[in-house]
Structure 1
Amino acid sequence: MPRVLIIGASKGIGLETTKQALKAGYDVRAFSRSADRINISNSKLEKIRGDALLSQDIETALDGVDVVIQSVGVGFSDLIRPVHLFSNATRILIAAMAVKDVKRLVSITGFGAGESKKSIHCLQRVPFKLVFGHAYQDKTLQEQLIKESSLDWTIVRPGVLSPGLLTKNYKILETPLEWRNGIISRRSVAHFLVHQIEDRVFIHKDLVLIN
């Protein structure tokens, strides 16, 4: 089975994806600045502390890996100032994957990034820009970098995230005409991500996920 590197594995979608990938039987390398605090004990889990903005850390984490799931995030307090984490981390990751000859990337951005920005309801555009504008401007750049790469990429844009239960009947919206915002649990997003480890149906696709 493929070995999976999960970047941003210590919390949120990354942590939930780590749990579900292990349950599915995959060897998982969990990468995070706080990886040592991941409270999971499993013989198939390798925890690596590192910084997604350091090329050496990322290249080390990519050794022997077949698939990368990228799930990085910023704190709410970081939204008031310009954000560069998503694009900078992605530049480093794409370059490192080329060095290590790793082709498969599944990256989580969010509804409102890239082309999906056009699908934000007119009444939501101003508050969305005020609160999330800095972050999603950078996520849009992140998506552009991924699409311009030679990787076998899939971009996943969840709607509003909730701590709810896993429901396997979530909607995978593939075309701009379908794209809309909605709520989806982190567990449901993780379920989709784990299925992308070996599924090639959505390579070179940018999707929206909602319940």
Structure 2
Amino acid sequence: MEVAIFGATGQVGRHLVNQALLKGYKVRAFGRNVHELNDNNDDLTLIKGGVFDDKDVFDAIKGCDAVLSVLGGSFDGTDKTRSLGIKNIIAQMKRASVKRIIALGGMGVLDHPEGGLIIEQPEYPEEYIPVGLEHQKAWEQLQASGLNWTFVCSPDIIDADPVGNFITSADHFPDGARTKINSGDIALFMLNELEVEAYPQQRVGIGMV
């Protein structure tokens, strides 16, 4: 298995890189500051590039089996990395004939039990709305892409190693879960989903128990 990881130097990205290598995958780690990663592994290729650059993204994806996207950015609505970045990743995946993508978003785009999305509810924190709208745009682009996608919709992320104490649910936040999750557990779930494909063309709610 060979995977391209976008956002490889972030909280979740670093765990994805390390866990994928432990599984024996070949990893292409993409980002602006990938030199921060330890590259003393023959199965790891560091690719310095910009997610808005067609050639950079295409070259990173071509020949891979799947893409893992954990793009980050600011929370104030001015940073379009999440929406425009995934748009370019989708376009270059089509050029490269790569079909499988697992991407990270936020729980605001999950369905609310009373209808609509969580982000549309009056009690949704106002400060999270700009980044939530970015996640919504990313999800909408995945829906329209024709790719085999899964959109992991996380609550607040704790920068910590995986412990496995989480549950998941399709399209909704899982009953009984706490609105927090370790970054290492998000990576653990994403790599497991890559193998088992339990949530094709679906959003996934995830949270600690």
Q: What TM-score results when the alignment is normalised by the length of structure 2?
A: 0.89
In the alignment, the residues of structure 2 paired with residue 60 and residue 152 of structure 1 have an alpha-carbon distance, to the nearest angstrom, of 20
State the Cα distance separating 1:196 from its structure 2 match: 2.1
State the Cα distance separating 1:67 from its structure 2 match: 0.5
State the Cα distance separating 1:120 from its structure 2 match: 6.1
Matched with 2:198 is 201
Give a deviation string over 1:68-115, Cα, whole Å, max 9, x none: 00010013xxx3343322111111111111110000000000111364
Counterpart selection for 1:157 from 153, 160, 166: 153
Q: What TM-score results when the alignment is normalised by the length of structure 1?
A: 0.88
Aligned AA (2:188): H
State the Cα distance separating 1:44 from its structure 2 match: 0.7
Aligned AA (1:31): F
> Contact 1:82/1:135 (CA < 8 Å) preserved in 2?
no
Q: How many residues align?
A: 204
Matched with 1:28 is 27
Give the SS at the match of 1:18: helix
Q: 1:87 to 1:181 in 2, by over 3 A?
A: farther
- 1:183 and 2:177 correspond: no
User: Aligned runs of 1:1-16 on 2, under 5 Å?
Assistant: 2-16=1-15
In the alignment, the residues of structure 2 paired with residue 98 and residue 199 of structure 1 have an alpha-carbon distance, to the nearest angstrom, of 23
Output the aligned Cα RMSD. 2.1
Give a deviation string over 1:150-190, Cα, whole Å, max 9, x none: 10000001111112342223111224374676111001111
In the alignment, the residues of structure 1 paired with residue 9 and residue 48 of structure 2 have an alpha-carbon distance, to the nearest angstrom, of 10
- 1:70 and 2:66 correspond: no
Which segments of 5 or more consecutive residues in structure 1 lack a partner in the other structure? none
Counterpart selection for 1:145 from 141, 146, 151: 141
In the alignment, the residues of structure 2 paired with residue 19 and residue 177 of structure 1 have an alpha-carbon distance, to the nearest angstrom, of 27
State the Cα distance separating 1:23 from its structure 2 match: 0.8
State the Cα distance separating 1:205 from its structure 2 match: 1.4
- 1:172 and 2:171 correspond: no
